[in-house]
Structure 1
Amino acid sequence: MTPTARLSEIYFAKRDVLLRYLTRLCGDEASAEDVLQDLYLRLMRGGIEGEIEEPLAFLFRMANNLWLNRRRTLTRRDAREEAWQALNPQMTGEADAAPDAEAVVGGRQALRAVLNDIDALPPRTRDIFRMHKLEGLSQTEVARRLEISISSVEKHLSSALKHLLALNRSRRLN
């Protein structure tokens, strides 16, 4: 009798024992049945050479290894899924959740503070900043509209950003 035929014979004789063992490992009978099916398919593929001194122990070891492989695969899949959901909350429906009232009030206060800071800029700098950052015009378009050089637009934007960053830093320190 070949080693594969011998293992298949023992597999069918001890299938219930293997199923109970795997059910305990997997936590449910359906998963245990899946692992047991994988074990049977491995046996049917053959390729087992040589004399096996303890065929039942060999089957238990194969079943345990198949269960471990399955568990690793599921753990990796779950980790990938969690990472994907963390990076793409809009795909999970979390993005549709309304923020709490405190977050809304805080956001409105922060927006109001930023708009007040922009209004406090010198008029020409404020206009350039609004056109570029809020209206989305390119620096070239701003320069063309105001009939000034691109270099002048860049200087005004730099000045505005420095001013706004300084105000933001001082606010955080207070």
Structure 2
Amino acid sequence: MSTFQNTAHFEQVFKDNWELMYQSAYSKIGDQAVVEDILQEIFIDIWQRRESLEIKSGIKAYLLTAVKYQVMKHFDGQAKIRKDNSHNLPEAYYEEDVFGFEELFHEIEIAVEMLPPRAQLVFRMSRLEGYSVDEIADKLKVSPQTVHNQLSKSLKIMRGELKHLAPALAVYLLA
């Protein structure tokens, strides 16, 4: 069964998530027109695949991961334009689609599942849902330092598990 049962559901997902997605992309790119194009591309892609698309881990996490992936593709495109730095990066960095988005999301999900339960929760809240350290600490009733420690351990594990991805993509997703 598809994640999007009807047009109204799709529109509600857009309304509920576009602002967070916009803020996430804008904080990295800083160009309103580019960010709007990225969000449009994401939602067009989702709409075109709505019949077969099944999102199992949560729509918010899926959409924020899509934003991160599209932002990375934007920077990759910018890097291609600036050929002067091309000799410093590995060839795999410039491939059009090192991983399709679905494959990338799946790889991240597998790596997250390898984390201990509490570390999974902290990682998802921070990197996939966009919560700040203080927000996570407040929600989980722990100190911000505990959240920092959990994230540090999680990121070390995740980097090791995802090192086979294009280096710049792995660094961006896990920074």
| TM-score, normalised by the number of residues in structure 2 | 0.37
**If each structure's helix is expressed as a fraction of its own residues, which one has the higher value?**
1
Specify the structure having the higher radius of gyration (Cα). Answer: 1
| TM-score, normalised by the number of residues in structure 1 | 0.38
